[in-house]
Amino acid sequence: MTYQLVTLERDGNVAVLTLNRPDKRNALNTALRDEVRAALEELEADDSVSVAIITGAGPVFCAGFDTSEFATIPPAEVFYGESAVRYHYRLQRFAKPLIAAINGSAMGGGFDIAVLADVRICVEGASFGHPEIKFGASTLYGPLAAVIGGSLARDLCLSGRRIDASEAHRIGLVSQVVAADRLLDEAKAAARVIAEAPLATLKEVKSQIIAAAPTHFPER
């Protein structure tokens, strides 16, 4: 498949999926969500790929929802419509290990991408938050609580406050904080350690992770 808003690169049995709307801070419009879903489906079907990395082009990982779509699409449709449900379902149920290489701010839906990945590595200047609660979008509590615990997840989901890379590491949201020029190298190194296991075993463990998820998006 030819993609306009994401890029896919393969490096041995590791693939890198890059959100490629740097001029829009990689904000999630319907087209980008659909391409992310299609790219994950492609990687899931490719038995030469054991581990995937998701990252962003430019200085921002993902700024969250593309609010410019509100001019033509009702906000409820952007947040909860068919495209959103299909995208979240595929992201959560991706059958292989997924590493988020967080190259900058991860806000709203970008924070969700990071949380729905299996491993998170970020740059020193990264930040995380759920500002969307301020304009009426509910935040994704369950998966975040599974990563950092219920008390902290409630704080972040209800307040919308932003945390920096240092706090993200302290609370266990990310496993590493690295220099920006080392991010992909470190993410690939982590991916290769994971990929030492047989793909069938990785998929079995991932199926257990999916089954234990506190929030399940419906299949569409």
CA distances from 27 to 21, 50, 74, 89, 195 (A): 7, 27, 17, 19, 30
In sequence order, which residues have a C-beta less than 8 Å from that of residue 8 and are 6 or more positions away?
A: 15, 16, 17, 18, 39, 42, 43
* CA 147/CA 171 separation, integer angstroms: 9
Output the six-digit token pair for 136.
């009426």
Is 132 considered catalytic here?
yes
Nearest 5°: phi and psi at 40?
-65, -40
Of 9, 82, 132, 219, catalytic: 132
Catalytic residue ranges: 132
